[in-house]
Structure 1
């Protein structure tokens, strides 16, 4: 019989990281990356490597649980550590597979099983190819390939080039998240090329520049500090071809910030706005989607044309983009 280990999620300051599952839908709170729900049970799958990573027992969740709610069962398929991450777990559930990193159990990648969509910021990246020139697209912060799966699903001709600093994550992604399939050419000629290394290195580029760059760089549940510096964005922009664009997961809002507050309280969006004055757009995902900020460089696209050119599930969402201007 599989070992059962209780899993709890301790919210970081400024984030509400737990989730509950109701009626098969994921209800998520404010976070830069999702986190395992408090009310869950983790089963170590036989031969799944669960014995490689031990953790002290955790007390049961103190939140009152509605009578109709039951803990979601998760299977631990693999657990390891690397020079870059003390905790790396691959966790499976009936609804999805998750790449979980760090002591706060932040989910850095999702592979849904019952739907194509993640109901989080990864879905936003699918809208980028509709408004950029033809050419390669960079994924800075590849993780287990959630964005790559989505983008090649709807734009199978794309040439994606991803950077991930942790080789252990790439190894596990090929074994458990189907990344090896993404590295094979589709019938339309698209594929994912994987590079292990620093996504912000000057060598993370291609001749002629990228048509688009997706930035999703986090460490310990927080966006990396370099992305709060204007100079970082100016260097990334140099890697674009003419009319290329950058789309960014800027992380979540502070816990003290209300849903009506301005983007200016997000340091990454503020740095972007300074780096691209008059050439930055932003939107804030709804509470059920994760309350993340996402940003897009360049002039605001024609929202009607953009809406008509993306998958129907995104047609309304792209109309929520607005120009970002310094107060």
Structure 2
């Protein structure tokens, strides 16, 4: 969420690493044009933390924290808002962070949706890895049967970009409800280039992701569905997971961003941790002991991912071998969900 405080702005992300993004100085207020901004006086201090711990791995290619203190912010001179407008479904903002910034987001573009300001996509100019939950999503293909992957909640394509680069045979079908989000992805996040580069491997659809289906079903499904700053209510219904499971091939799996305490919804009654727990319980009613959770931090404002299917020791070892070195540690972070 974009929170206003004395000399800072904080943006909430769904399940990022352990650095608060605090844009220091003043709050940004839009003027008559959606692309021009004036400054106003801030109010109501609040901080939202973005966290994803580095994977536990013996590999040398691990994420290394920046030298800058994690409580420091990004100077306003290092941040530029390059798009800001409202659509039927979203309040869209595109933020660009200077490469000069002493912060883990330096050199990135961020896609913020909804009034709370959840970060739905991130891209860097000179690197593919994001050190966010999008990297965890990209570990899924090696443990899937052959076949296409569905991304429900496509955003600007952060997960798709990683997966297309890592897995040369993979075909992706992505669903996004708001056509303006796809348009922003094409204009500001290189999605148009990605579509031209992989015309036979990337298909994007505008519409309700919960109705997503393809001929012969999916090998895997990634679920990243938020609305008004919260997991959509359908995900707390076991019937939703029954329907999604039926769209999987034999041996197929689902990986889900289930949010958590760090997620702040527009509706105060949709408290992030409670909604996460309700979602996991609904999944557990369908998948039973074949449900695992990866926690993205160690503090009270954590969030998590969920994964369906079996995870036996031989499978874990094979999974690690199929992943890039910087991803191997994520395999060890999954634990069974016991309801």
Q: The TM-score by the shorter chain falls in which range?
A: 0.7 to 0.9
Which residue pairs with 1:154 in the alignment?
A: 166
8 Å Cα contact 1:247-1:294 kept in structure 2: yes
Partner secondary structure for residue 222 of structure 2? strand
**Cα distance per residue 1:69-99 (max 9 Å; x no partner):** 65252111112211111x2111111221011
Q: How does 1:100-139 map to 2 (within 5 A)?
A: 100-139=112-151
Which residue pairs with 1:197 in the alignment?
A: 207
Which residue pairs with 2:94 in the alignment?
A: 90
Which residue pairs with 2:311 in the alignment?
A: 300
Partner secondary structure for residue 118 of structure 1? coil
The Cα shift of 1:324 comes to 2.0
RMSD in angstroms over aligned alpha carbons? 3.5
In structure 2, do the counterparts of structure 1 residues 81 and 57 end up closer, same or farther at CA, with 3 Å as the change threshold?
Answer: farther
8 Å Cα contact 2:12-2:117 kept in structure 1: no
What is the TM-score of this pair, normalised by structure 2?
0.75
The Cα shift of 1:185 comes to 4.4
Which residue pairs with 1:81 in the alignment?
A: 86
In structure 2, do the counterparts of structure 1 residues 43 and 75 end up closer, same or farther at CA, with 3 Å as the change threshold?
Answer: farther
Which residue pairs with 2:246 in the alignment?
A: 238
- Distance across 2 between alignment mates of 1:118 and 1:57: 32
- Distance across 1 between alignment mates of 2:322 and 2:110: 30
8 Å Cα contact 1:160-1:190 kept in structure 2: no
Structure 1 stretches of 5 or more lacking a match?
1-6, 20-24, 30-35, 256-261
The Cα shift of 1:168 comes to 0.8
1:208 is the counterpart of 2:221: no
Which residue pairs with 1:227 in the alignment?
A: 235
1:274 is the counterpart of 2:262: no
8 Å Cα contact 1:157-1:190 kept in structure 2: no
Aligned counterpart for 1:319 among listed residues 323, 332, 337: 332
Structure 2 stretches of 5 or more lacking a match?
48-68, 99-105, 264-272
In structure 2, do the counterparts of structure 1 residues 153 and 10 end up closer, same or farther at CA, with 3 Å as the change threshold?
Answer: farther
Aligned counterpart for 1:176 among listed residues 178, 188, 201: 188
**Cα distance per residue 1:105-151 (max 9 Å; x no partner):** 22111112353222221111111000001111000000111111111
1:28 is the counterpart of 2:36: no
- Distance across 1 between alignment mates of 2:309 and 2:142: 14
- Distance across 1 between alignment mates of 2:225 and 2:237: 14
Question: How many pairs were matched up?
Answer: 290
8 Å Cα contact 1:43-1:75 kept in structure 2: no
